[in-house]
Structure 1
Amino acid sequence: MTTIAVIGATGRTGRLVVEHALAAGHHVTAVARHPEALGPTRARLTVHSADVLAPGSLHGVLDDQDAVISAIGAPDRGATTVYSAGTTEVIPALKPHGRLLVISSAGLSIPADAPAGTRLAARILHRLMRRTYADMARMEELLAASDLTWTVVRPTRLTDRPGTGRLRTSLGATARVGSQTTRADLADYLLASIDDPRTHRTVVAISS
């Protein structure tokens, strides 16, 4: 049994992380601007209202957590600082060497073994998502410079289909994975990686 804080707990992925963590028997602190959107209070669930972009809003909230999962995200492809600014608030709110897992995107890099068609599609997507990807890259740089025990999980295109239980992963995000990732599979991978030392201080590309 683990105590886990989920930041961005009312988003499409964050909700699933909360539900899967509770189903696995963990104690969960759901952090969001409007955590009441998660519905009635349940056993082992604590809700905390906080705006991750407000300086100092997480002070004291994450002190007793075994792990923190950040599921924050931008609402569209426009210019954003939500990833970097949110992570700037999360990092000092954790104890030294605290466990932090964040969601990024497989689109940040193109694996060396990707075929030509995939490379072309990736370049087009990177142009469309350049502002989001730029802020994700800033987020990853902040983590790399921190003393936290972090993991960056980079899923491919997210879908709301049921989980498959058949994940493809690439430690270091150097090899090709599949084209889609269900949010349910992503939630399961985040939880399974909490105690996996292979994922410490590295990026991991995943797909369903």
Structure 2
Amino acid sequence: MKLTVVAATGGIGRHLVGQAVAAGHHVTAVARGPRDMPAGVRVVAVDLTRPDMRALASAVRGADAVLSALGPRNPRADAGITSQGTRAIVTAMHAENVRRLVIVSAAPVGPVPVPGQPTAPRHDPGDGFFMRYLGTPLTHAMFGRHYADLAAAEQILRDSGLEWTVSRPPKLTDKPLTGRYRTALNRNIRGGFSVPRADVAHHMLAVIDQPETIKQVIGIAS
């Protein structure tokens, strides 16, 4: 397949590029300053804080899927980049008639809206007592602007008309790829406190060809 990876030099992005190349895909890497990419990877420099839409459109042109690992380097200082960048990616994909998009969000974002339900549940159905009353409130107190931005990015996808999937991991680690992780549609993973970045990338690549994940939020954890 032809895949475009956005934020290709980040923690998850590097794994996406490496695993996609190893699987034999044709990869275009998009980043502010793409460097040290594997041989054969097409590189397109785009700063998603000030996106060059012509360059971004060229990066997604002809792609079977776009995978975005976009997120702030400093969640407290750089909040806003994910929704801004996601909006630019969606615009570029519409311009080039590319349909499939998979992005990374985060487990503490909150309950997933359910069609036909006037109000979202107060708590994520996958969260246990600790996460509901201590873990999630604490992370929101520390990084509330960041999670609000991720929620805005998810809403951009819901409004996009694209074939999107959102991956919501908890705490990310740099442990090696295991290929063993738990997933759940539209809810967090009970007792899932962390997951390797490499496993998140592995799952993002896997869902590209899983139609049942289209327009779904997927919790993932070890």
| Structures share fold, TM-score greater than 0.5 | yes
Query: What is the CA distance between 1:113 and its match in structure 2?
Result: 4.7
Query: What is the CA distance between 1:38 and its match in structure 2?
Result: 2.1
Match of 1:9 in 2: 8
**In the aligned structure 2, how far is the partner of 1:9 from the partner of 1:113?**
30
Match of 2:39 among 33, 37, 42: 42
Q: Retained in 1: the 8 A contact 2:154–2:166?
A: yes
Cα 1:64/1:102, change in 2 over 3 Å: same
Match of 1:149 in 2: 163
Q: Retained in 2: the 8 A contact 1:143–1:150?
A: yes
Q: Are 1:111 and 2:109 counterparts?
A: no
SS in 1 for 2:139: helix
Instruction: Name the aligned partner's letter for residue 78 of structure 1.
Output: R
Would you identify which runs of 4 or more consecutive aligned residues in structure 1 move more than 3 Å? none
Match of 1:62 in 2: 60
Q: Say which is worse superposed, 49-58 or 120-129, in terms of deviation.
A: 49-58
Instruction: Name the aligned partner's letter for residue 100 of structure 1.
Output: L
Query: What is the CA distance between 1:175 and its match in structure 2?
Result: 5.2
Match of 1:169 in 2: 183
Q: Retained in 2: the 8 A contact 1:180–1:207?
A: yes
**In the aligned structure 1, how far is the partner of 2:216 from the partner of 2:158?**
9
Identity of aligned residues (%): 40
Q: Retained in 1: the 8 A contact 2:176–2:198?
A: yes
Q: Retained in 2: the 8 A contact 1:97–1:147?
A: no
Match of 1:29 in 2: 28
Tell me how many residue pairs correspond in the alignment.
204
CA RMSD of aligned residues (A): 1.6
SS in 2 for 1:38: coil
For residues 60-101 of structure 1, what are the alpha-carbon distances to aligned partners after superposition, in whole Å with 9 as ceiling and x for unaligned? 321210000001110113252101100110001114461000
Instruction: Name the aligned partner's letter for residue 100 of structure 2.
Output: R
Cα 1:129/1:58, change in 2 over 3 Å: same
Q: Retained in 2: the 8 A contact 1:15–1:38?
A: no
Structure 1: gaps spanning 5 or more residues: none
Q: Say which is worse superposed, 123-132 or 105-114, in terms of deviation.
A: 105-114
TM-score of the pair, normalised by structure 2 = 0.86
Match of 1:129 among 130, 143, 146: 143
Q: Retained in 2: the 8 A contact 1:96–1:148?
A: no
For residues 109-144 of structure 1, what are the alpha-carbon distances to aligned partners after superposition, in whole Å with 9 as ceiling and x for unaligned? 243253322221121112111010010011011110
Query: What is the CA distance between 1:54 and its match in structure 2?
Result: 2.2
Cα 1:92/1:162, change in 2 over 3 Å: same
TM-score of the pair, normalised by structure 1 = 0.92
